[in-house]
Amino acid sequence: MVKININGRDFEAEPCQTVLSVAQSAGIDIPTLCHTEAVADYGACRICLVEVERRGRKRLVTSCLYPVEEGIKVTTDSERVKKVRKTIIELLLARCPDSQAIREMAENMGVTESRFALEEKAETGSCILCGLCTRVCSEVVGASAISLVNRGTAREVALPFYDEASSCIACGSCAYICPTGAISLVDAGSKRIISWPNGTVDFQMKQCTRCGSHYAPVRQVEYMIESSGLSPTEFELCPDCRKLD
């Protein structure tokens, strides 16, 4: 076990843990946007930064990536931490002024408006380029249908497809995981409509052969048939009708 100190309290941690995971287990609040247990951390948003003192030297680190080390002293809410976090949230606010999640986080930090100029991208949505959607698509779903492309101000989440060759299965994991609501998903009868920051695609839904309800995207059902090895007949009924059998 590794001994560390957070905000004056001593903790023992597994060597594989990050500072964020130890703090969260202890109920110590550190804001995060791009962290989830579902995928490997990437350190994109930097809002989780904390101050770490190691061998007499203090520096700011992203807590979701920083591994625990024997004897480190962590401060999650020093004036220096709060000041830099405020600057980060102001930059995010300038990029995504209409994102409710960003606005709420900013308000919690006492920030109601940004000192920075609105980015051009601000007109097109709420994406903070955290990459959670692309990572969940590749690491959890295994589809790798969307990706972050380009550099600098042209960086964006690339739409999965407008052609039959796409590997998007319309599962909607990207929409569920997105921390800012930049991706939306609506099930409207026979269609699932997913809107990414730069475009919208409709997906055909599969219909239950008994009750007629549209219960899952056709592409997702095909994916499940292929990956499970089950017969297509197993997917003829919706979950409700299956329970009745």
Residue 48 near which of ligand FES, ligand SF4, none (CB within 5-8 Å, type-dependent)? ligand FES
Stretch that binds ligand SF4, among 84-92, 114-122, 174-182, 224-232 (CB under 6 A): 174-182
Q: How many residues bind ligand FES (CB under 6 A)?
A: 12
DSSP string across the chain: -EEEEETTEEEEE-TT-BHHHHHHHTT-----SS--TTS-----S-TTEEEEEETTEEEEEETTTPBP-TT-EEESS-HHHHHHHHHHHHHHHHH-TT-HHHHHHHHHTT--S-SSPPPGGGGG-------HHHHIIIIIIS----EEESSGGG-EEEP--SSTT-------HHHHH-TTS-SEEEEETTEEEEEETTEEEEEEEEE-TTT--EEEEHHHHHHHHHHH---GGGGSS-HHHHHH-
* Contact map string, positions 185 to 224, toward ligand FES, x by CB under 6 A: ----------------------------------------
Q: Interaction with ligand FES in 37-66: which residues (CB under 6 A)?
A: 43-48, 62, 64
- Give me the least distance between CB of 119 and ligand FES, in Å please: 19
Do 49 and 81 form a contact (C-beta atoms < 8 A)? Answer: yes
Instruction: Work out which of 6, 19, 22, 33 binds ligand FES, going by CB under 6 A.
Output: 33
Q: Which is nearer to ligand FES, 62 or 99 (CB)?
A: 62
Residue 105 touches which member of ligand SF4, ligand FES, none, C-beta under 5-8 Å by kind: none
**Which residue carries 């791009």 as its tokens?**
34
Nearer to ligand FES by Cβ, of 179 and 197: the residue is 179
Is residue 47 at the binding interface for ligand SF4, with CB under 6 A as the rule? Answer: no
Binding-residue pattern over the window 112 to 141 for ligand SF4, x denoting contact by CB under 6 A: ---------------xxxxxxx--------
CB of 78 to ligand SF4, least distance (A): 28
For residue 160, state whether it binds ligand SF4 (rule: CB under 6 A): no
Amino acid identity, position 181: G
Residues 73 and 92: beta-carbon distance below 8 Å: no
Where along the sequence are the contacts to ligand FES (CB under 6 A)?
32-35, 43-48, 62, 64
Where along the sequence are the contacts to ligand SF4 (CB under 6 A)?
127-133, 157, 178, 180, 182-183, 197
